[in-house]
Amino acid sequence: MSTTDAPAAVKVPAEVEKSIATFVAAHGGSATAVLQYVGEQGVRITLVGSDGIMGDRVVADPATAKAIVERIDGLTEADEWNRELVSVATPTMPTHWQKMAGWVAKQTRFPKARNADVFAGA
């Protein structure tokens, strides 16, 4: 007789699940998720809506990320970034580039590069 323990239920953060479900609904009713381990921070769930718009959320561990993908209707998981998925992803929203640039997006003055002397003659 085997005594194996049943897997523990994974607790999915409600706000993350709700925001991903809202994203899926707002971008065509379906989306693809790419799960990317980002070290101690957890797992980044990168979303590509059926209209090509991208979004992302970070969760604590791979089990939580997989549970979210399983729970949300219209969300499928891709094993990796492949040609088909990349060709659909279109980060064309004006705010996308500002969001990715962070504080740099609002700067009008930039400091001199630390290695400017090395490339002075180039």
- Calculate the CA dihedral of residues 61, 67, 71, 72 and round it to 10 degrees: 40
On whether the pTM is more than 0.75, the answer is: no
* Angstrom distance (rounded) from CA 69 to CA 22: 13
Nearest CA-CA partner of 46 in 60, 62, 63, 58: 58
Provide the residue ranges of all domains of the chain, joining segments of one domain with +.
14-92
Q: Are 23 and 49 in contact (CB under 8 A)?
A: yes
Strand pairing report for 75-78 and 31-37 = parallel
pLDDT in tens, 35-65: 999 999 999 999 999 988 888 999 999 999 9
pLDDT in tens, 68-111: 999 999 999 999 999 999 888 876 666 666 666 666 667 777 67
